[in-house]
Amino acid sequence: MAGKKKVAYVCSECGFDTPKWQGKCPNCGSWNTMIEQVVSDVKSNSFAAKTIRHSLSEPISIHAVTTEHETRISTGITELDRVLGGGMVRGSLVLVSGEPGIGKSTLLLQACSGLCLSGPVLYVTGEESLSQIKMRAQRLSIDDERLFIFAETELDRVWSAIDKTSPGVVIVDSIQTMFDPQIASTPGSVTQVRECTMALMQFAKTRGVSVVLVGHVNKDGGIAGPKVLEHMVDTVLNFEGDRHAAYRMLRAAKNRFGSTNEIGIFEMHETGLAVVSNPSAAMLSGRPDGASGSCVTAVLEGTRPLLAEIQGLVTKSAYGSARRTSAGIDYNRAMLLLAILEKRGGFMLSAYDAYINVVGGLSLDEPAVDLAVIMAIASSYLEKPLLDNLAVFGEVGLSGELRSVSGAAQRVSELARLGFKKCILPRACLDQVSVRGIECVGVSSIQDALRAGFQKN
């Protein structure tokens, strides 16, 4: 008589498992995320089990370990190579995530054109048919005989395709559609995602083949599946932006082979994603002259200075409580700056609705944008435009003081390159700046910045 099946309840958000069902996950606190799954041992003939068994070795001294130079493969897309740290490292496991329709599959298919120059590439899709991939490739003008496409979701068949093609890079679109038939769980479940990723990671490390995984996101914007997924991979790339807007931003949330501060900016066209070589000029295009509520700031994304336009709009509230909205800037940070402007600057904003927006769909989390938000809101409140060719940057404290920020010289150089004539920055940053062609005004408080930013009547 067959024994009773052993079941466990696994949280779909964090991967926590418990033998009993609970309405609230004790680990992450999410409600109604505990999913029943049958617990079964993975058969010993699975790829992951074989790889782990064959890779057992004896511990050795660190002095006996030799380091080799990382071999990188260029994707042919400069912005993608920048975010990866100079190209794709052989034997690395990369996870690319983003909202549906943002352009993840388009970006990776375009990268295949450059990756094929270094050897065969296998593109495994579990969401589209071969004809759909072919039509997209024709639209992107991709036609290389070393690019192999394979529509499959079963992991064992993927291993067979890899043995036949011997690729240097394997792209799996997406990891949530892959399943191992030896695991008693549905595709997309926490167990399947974890085990399939583990098998692909062991394959990448033992064979020296780069593997790129496409990951779905949940309703909160996080990567769907267990949190351990992000820990197993070497690099996590987030593809951000509004799918209805033209610009996209690729940001590295984790990178074992490079910086996590680099970003890549793309523009969506009918023929695919195009690299934005001068993002500062692109973000400021169409900016009106002499309009109130607009302020330009310089942010630092990795090693790249980037100019962004902050817009503020203040209107008389028609209801009992004022409305607050922010897009591209953290809401809590925006509310904090409004409170500082009211308390330290003397602007009575409690009876006014306030709206803050970053033009171009950018998402800025750097403290250096604080002063630009203050200036944009003040300009809209006073209905007075700021000085022509003026840009500002600086962190604002609770007392209304301006704090120093890093990379002041790079920010000012980018402003001068694009023709700005005046820059308001924290006084503590003046010693770092020596750029010709632009006037730098150091201030120590938001009151000083407001006096220096408006035209004198």
Tens-digit pLDDT string for the chain (457 aa): 455 567 788 787 777 788 888 888 888 888 887 877 766 554 444 554 455 444 545 788 888 877 666 789 999 999 999 999 999 999 999 999 988 888 999 999 999 999 999 999 999 999 999 999 999 999 999 999 999 999 999 999 999 999 999 999 999 998 999 999 888 777 887 888 888 999 999 999 989 999 999 998 877 677 776 777 888 999 999 998 777 777 888 989 899 998 887 888 899 888 889 998 888 888 888 888 888 999 999 998 877 889 999 999 999 988 778 899 999 899 999 999 999 999 999 999 988 999 999 987 788 889 999 999 999 999 999 999 999 999 999 999 999 999 999 999 999 999 999 999 999 999 999 988 888 889 999 999 999 999 999 866 5
The answer to whether 423 touches 440, Cβ cutoff 8 Å, is yes
Across 270-320, the runs of DSSP E, i.e. the strands, are 272-275, 294-301, 304-316
SS3 content of the chain, % helix, strand, coil (to 5): 30, 30, 40
64-98 CB burial, b ≥16 within 10 A, e <16: eeeeeeeebbbbbbebbbbbbbebbbbbbbbbbbb
CA separation, residue 243 to residues 248, 263, 264, 265 (Å)? 8, 18, 16, 14
Distance, in Å, from the CA atom of 263 to the CA atom of 277, rounded to the nearest integer, reads 12
